[in-house]
């Protein structure tokens, strides 16, 4: 039996060795690229047909294909500040702008939250004369608190 975390590392290794892009894998299963990467890194369960297709493309063992289908424990499981620079900067951005975003959500929508369950996310590149920009779109359904 392979855990979801072990499967994620095996997927990363196989993808690196093969030179296949995340976008190619997403296209192969008909899913958005960010969702696909998150699933392959252990944050979503894949349907059997999706997991098998990824297994074929990356030449993964049946144990890994099975692990890709398992229900995950979402999140990192740790509340420590991450040390990876890219992930740290996202934490930093939320630390700086999170309270302002929260206030604006409450002002616009009322008392509630943005869902991370009914959620879409996208990462794109925007050319800019001063250096290309990373554009991250977080698109979550508003869920009001019911008291």
pLDDT digits (tens, 9 = 90+) for 9-45: 999 999 999 999 999 999 999 999 989 999 999 999 9
Give residue 29's pLDDT. Answer: 98
Provide the annotated active-site residues. 89, 92, 115
Q: pLDDT at position 77, please?
A: 65
Among the listed residues 45, 35, 34, 33, the one whose alpha carbon sits nearest the alpha carbon of residue 7: 45
What's the pLDDT at 82?
86
Task: Name, in order, each residue with C-beta under 8 angstroms of 12's C-beta and a sequence gap of 6 or more.
Answer: 41
What mean pLDDT do residues 65-78 have?
85
What is d(CA 4, CA 85) in angstroms, rounded to the nearest whole number? 24
Give pLDDT, residue 28.
98
Average pLDDT score over the chain: 93
Q: What is the pTM of this model?
A: 0.78
**Whether the predicted pLDDT of 80 surpasses 90:** no
Cα–Cα distance for residue pair 28/53, rounded to 1 Å: 7
- Give the whole-number percent of the chain exceeding pLDDT 70: 98
And the tokens for 43?
């944050």
Beta-carbon neighbour count of residue 39 at 10 Å?
26
């Amino acid at each position: 039996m392979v855990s979801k975390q072990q499967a994620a590392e095996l997927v990363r290794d196989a993808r690196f060795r093969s030179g296949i892009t995340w976008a190619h894998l997403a296209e192969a299963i008909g899913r958005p690229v960010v969702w696909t990467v998150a699933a392959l890194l252990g944050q979503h369960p894949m349907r059997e047909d999706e997991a098998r297709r990824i297994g074929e493309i990356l030449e993964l063992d049946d144990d890994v294909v099975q692990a890709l289908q398992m229900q995950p424990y979402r999140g990192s499981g740790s509340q420590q500040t991450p040390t990876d620079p890219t992930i740290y900067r996202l934490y930093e951005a939320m630390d700086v702008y999170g309270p302002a975003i929260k206030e604006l959500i409450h002002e616009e929508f009322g008392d509630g939250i943005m869902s991370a369950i009914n959620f879409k996310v996208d990462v794109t590149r925007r050319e800019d004369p001063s250096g290309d920009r990373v554009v991250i779109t977080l698109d979550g359904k508003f869920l009001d608190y019911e008291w």
